[in-house]
Structure 1
Amino acid sequence: MYSEVFPSIDQNELMSVIEEVGSRDVQVALQKDQLDIKDFAALISPAADPYIEEIANKAHQLTVQRFGRTILMYAPLYVSNYCTNGCRYCGFNHQNLMERHLLSHGQALDDAAVIASEGFRHLLLVSGEDPRYVDEQYLGELAVKLKGRFSSIGVEVQPLEESGYRHLSECGVDSLTIYQETYNTELYSEVHPSGKKRDFNYRLDTPERGALGGMRKVGLGVLLGLGNVSLDACNLALHARYIMQNYWRTQVSVSFPRLRAAEGGFQPYDPVSDRTLLKLICAFRLYTVDAVLVLSTRESAQFRDAVFPCGITQMSAGSKTNPGGYSSQDDTLEQFHVEDSRSVAHVAAAIREQGYEAVWKDWDPLLV
């Protein structure tokens, strides 16, 4: 498991690699077909700034070669904002004195009906981490009810055991998203002062438990702006490649959630600029060539339209980050504020304007 591999990565040595890369290293990386971690570090470094157009062009060409001119569309469905964790950066922090909501299956199906009516066939079920409200039984029963309407159902919930993921797989769930948040163990403890999420290693091994439990796709990510962005990105790149090499039947996706101010007064420790985020997207395309790269509505419409051709292959649209947000509960607590508030049709039109196709369905279990 990766929790046994991770301690062998000398973080001080990795930081030295990050700090020492220069212009020559960027040029070398751009000539390679298969990058190592030093090449990745070079492409996200300040030394890469003069080469950003060349990097973006190479990432674009590789993306078109591997994925074509398509963007897979998905929508998140938040079923609960109850949470037992005290994550300092999250609006669902259990210490925030806000009204909490759990959707009944009927209410979740109402939201799902709105999402399906907009064309989506890829759905991500999201909740705060509180198994008293959202557990394997709740998720499994809901997935069974949703299977006829959606071709792909994913979960972004509390980490489960391998048996839990196997149960969800049998109910129709086929993908898992789980962010490590930061690979800095000291910072991880600091920003997770309470709750089961404090267990760094248990979370670190979650993608593998998901793969072993039958998930056809696992999604990784860090919260950009929480820790040192270069060090977290390099660790994420190493983790993603490890999963791709050791669980080759499982597709890997990488997300780029950039931290915003959250309920409770949290401000990002190390804000990430647009330029840095663009370099990250390009570098991940060139380092993890076949990974699905995801950009959510956390980002502005202008930024998403500008950067998606540089490596992004999956995007959300029309997202609501509060339980019941699609059909009824406009006033419930959001996990984060949506920056791209355009309608689904507007986002799809913007994708077409750049010569790409918005794809609503690219997977069906009946074809396996």
Structure 2
Amino acid sequence: MFYAKEIEEAEKLESFIPNDEILDLLENTKEPDKKYVREIIQKSLNKNRLEPVEVATLLNVKDEDLLEEIFEGARTLKEKIYGNRIVLFAPLYVGNECINDCQYCGFRTSNSEIYRNSLTMETLEKEVESLVDKGHKRLIMVYGEHPKYDANFIAKTVEKVYTVKKDRGEIRRVNINAAPLNIEEFKTVKDAGIGTYQIFQETYHLETYKKVHPRGPKSSFNWRLYGLDRAIKAGIDDVGIGALFGLYDWKFEVMGLLYHTIHFENTFGFGPHTISFPRLEPAINTPIAERPPHLVSDEDFKKLVAIIRLAVPYTGLILTAREPLEIRNEVIKFGVSQIDAGSSIGIGSYSHDDLENYKKSQFVLGDQRSLDEVIKELTDHGFIPSFCTGCYRLGRTGEHFMEFSVPGFVKRFCTPNAVTTLMEYVVDYASPETKKSCEIQIQRELDAMPESEMKQQLLKYIDMVKDGVRDVYF
């Protein structure tokens, strides 16, 4: 089996997800005291990560007035740390060969109805050119788990992406969503210049995990659980975690994400760069995805996003295009800092229209708006879309990112950088209607900035962008 000896060693490790403790906390906090709930919210607003008993208490809030205070707390906290900026990216699926048999995934090895395909370097270049033509600057590249998608392949595909230039456009940062590797393999991928490496545990409930992962390397709970530990030891200090909501009780999964965060803090001195919280969506020939065993309602979804925001104030939250437009527009207010836009998840689907694209896709997208449409809607609602990659290239990652984000310095750097990258989009790609909306929002941002040397420099950067200079940032 793939990684057989290393998986055997991983199985000897003790899980840092305390199953019984989580269940006890959720049971013992079922009647939350209003005063205590408000104290918890205030602790978060002071930019302190919450403890398990505090998060369990919030998860058990049912009182409508208290729930609104949770939502308002999440909105306020997001504004305090990140401002009104929303980072934009696109997923790029490189290959859907897979040796795992995850029961909820369209890519699982036993699914005979999925069309298997992998991008070649030539087709990868065409995909990237299509994304650049639309105005994208940030990607997350997604790979199935298969021997052909080893560390060298991942590194070569990342390096290829960085070579693609089209007119004034380019991809400036590639994040990765792929299988767990060993330390030496993670070093190979790091050397390609990646940003964040994501590994989603899918479910933190061990019994459920074993049930839905019957075969393949992913059947080892611990191999996956400790995957990002190995990434950090290899020097990748920007890591992203996530759970697939719908496989088990959503409250338990939120607690699992919190304990994973605490493990990073205790072991390495910093938390995850991002947390994702996708809901299970339909996939071809995948019954469990059509009928999730623990369906998460829209109301519970809004609640869990707001609580995650309060639980880990300094961590970026990613809201994906799995969600329908109406939910995205509502949940984005509760502390989301990143979304994908103009997304397509078939293999080769950005450069090639295909009526049977669903046969190449892992699941069905809920929000299929174009990048231009998403940007216009964001700016119409007072957000500042951002393609900024400055933190990665200036070393504001891992522990250093915590130094900037916890005191709120990220807002100082990232809002000006959002303005310059949005102005690039305005000049190079925006439709007339989107251009007008963006220019109004950029002026709002400038009007809100106090007079300072940074503001004067930003005005110079804006003029430079209008004159054709690209990739200027603080």
TM-score by structure 2 length?
A: 0.73
After superposing the two structures, state which structure 1 stretch, 330-339 or 142-151, moved more.
Answer: 142-151
Deviation at 1:27, TM superposition (A): 3.7
For residues 174 and 272 of structure 1, what CA distance do their matches in structure 2 show?
Answer: 31
Which residue in 2 is equivalent to 1:300? 324
For residues 324 and 91 of structure 1, what CA distance do their matches in structure 2 show?
Answer: 17
Contact 1:78/1:323 (8 A) holds in 2? yes
Which residue in 1 is equivalent to 2:159? 144
Confirm whether residue 320 of structure 1 aligns to residue 365 of structure 2.
no
CA gap 1:119/1:310 in 2 versus in 1, 3 angstroms: same
Which residue in 1 is equivalent to 2:373? 346
Which residue in 2 is equivalent to 1:283? 307
CA gap 1:2/1:37 in 2 versus in 1, 3 angstroms: farther
For residues 87 and 302 of structure 1, what CA distance do their matches in structure 2 show?
Answer: 29
**Aligned pair partner of 2:74 in 45, 56, 59:** 59
* Superposed CA offset, 1:109-128 (max 9, x none): 11111112222211111021
For residues 46 and 261 of structure 1, what CA distance do their matches in structure 2 show?
Answer: 30
**Aligned pair partner of 2:183 in 162, 168, 183:** 162
Which residue in 1 is equivalent to 2:439? none
Deviation at 1:172, TM superposition (A): 1.5
Cα RMSD of the aligned pairs, angstroms, is: 2.1
Contact 1:244/1:250 (8 A) holds in 2? yes
Letter in 2 for 1:283: I
Gaps of 5+ in 1: none
Deviation at 1:245, TM superposition (A): 4.5
**Aligned pair partner of 1:23 in 32, 39, 47:** 32
Letter in 2 for 1:135: D
For residues 241 and 282 of structure 1, what CA distance do their matches in structure 2 show?
Answer: 19
Contact 2:61/2:67 (8 A) holds in 1? no
Deviation at 1:6, TM superposition (A): 5.7
> Alignment partner of 1:179: what SS?
coil
User: How many aligned positions are there?
Assistant: 367
Contact 1:72/1:358 (8 A) holds in 2? yes
TM-score by structure 1 length?
A: 0.93
Confirm whether residue 198 of structure 1 aligns to residue 207 of structure 2.
no
Letter in 1 for 2:341: A
For residues 234 and 251 of structure 1, what CA distance do their matches in structure 2 show?
Answer: 15
Letter in 1 for 2:340: S
Contact 2:196/2:273 (8 A) holds in 1? no
> Alignment partner of 1:173: what SS?
coil
Contact 2:107/2:144 (8 A) holds in 1? yes
Confirm whether residue 127 of structure 1 aligns to residue 127 of structure 2.
no
Contact 2:10/2:223 (8 A) holds in 1? no
* Superposed CA offset, 1:25-57 (max 9, x none): 534423434321111112222535442221111
* Superposed CA offset, 1:253-287 (max 9, x none): 10011002222222211000111111111111111
Contact 1:3/1:205 (8 A) holds in 2? no
For residues 322 and 247 of structure 1, what CA distance do their matches in structure 2 show?
Answer: 36
Contact 2:13/2:222 (8 A) holds in 1? no
Q: Which has the higher contact order (CA 8 A, sep 6+)?
A: 1
> Alignment partner of 2:390: what SS?
coil
Report sequence identity in percent: 29
Larger Rg: 2
For residues 221 and 49 of structure 1, what CA distance do their matches in structure 2 show?
Answer: 27
Letter in 1 for 2:235: G
List aligned pairs for 1:38-49, cutoff 5 A.
38-47=53-62, 49=64
